[in-house]
Amino acid sequence: NPTKPIGHFMNKETAEQCAKDLGWDIVEDSGRGYRRVVPSPLPKKIVEIEAIEGMVKNGTLVVCVGGGGIPVVKDGNGYKGVAAVIDKDYAASLLASDLNADMFIILTAVEKIAINFNTKDEVLLDKMNLKEAEKYIEEKHFAPGSMLPKVKAGMSFAKSKKGGQALITLLEKANEGLAGKTGTIIYNEE
């Protein structure tokens, strides 16, 4: 389902030519021009997980799944790249689960998750269990292209282990969040 805009903006003529010549799916993007769109599937596997685990066990700081990672599919005995954008929050959650992390942390542009966001009834959440998170999702409290994937990724990690917890907060507040002074914790009661 190609819905994720990528690449540069094009005028209509160039966009139509790319669609014809290259088979690209093109959309008009917010009055700014035309852009290519590709699918944004959820990650199924971190291909390099064994190498990452080895480096982590040796005390190496590993930077990985940046931007969600490079999308590939199995091709014979190897892999080939595909035109897609892997969701970065889900990729990070999968990595944290695979590494059996103590906690999954998403650092973002808000200090705490809110319900009734940007209304007079806004409520900042210190914590929410999986059932509460599901209820808020059903009530459409989280924007699809913004907080919703972060909440779902946090839930995914919390579900992955007994007592699993995900913290969502500001980069500048990470230490305070880890100390339980701010941020929102999504937790598994089991």
Q: What is the pLDDT of residue 132?
A: 98
pTM: 0.86
Is residue 142 a contact partner of residue 106, using CB atoms and an 8 Å limit?
A: no
Burial of 70 (0-12, 13-18, 19+ CB in 10 A): middle
Given phi > 0 = left and psi -120 to 50 = alpha, else beta, which region is 64?
Answer: beta
Q: What is the pLDDT of residue 76?
A: 94
pLDDT tens sequence for the chain (190 residues)? 888 888 999 999 999 999 999 999 999 988 899 999 999 888 999 999 999 999 999 999 999 998 888 899 999 999 999 999 998 999 999 999 999 999 999 999 999 999 999 999 999 999 999 999 999 999 999 988 789 999 999 999 999 999 999 999 999 999 999 999 999 999 998 7
Q: What is the pLDDT of residue 68?
A: 81
128: β partners: 186
Q: How many CA atoms lie within 13 A of 161 on its CB side?
A: 17
Cα–Cα separations (whole angstroms), residue 20 to 13, 16, 23? 11, 6, 6
Which position has the token pair 């993007």? Answer: 29
Nearest to 91, CA basis, from 103, 104, 82, 79: 104
Nearest to 135, CA basis, from 155, 118, 119: 155
Q: What is the pLDDT of residue 109?
A: 92
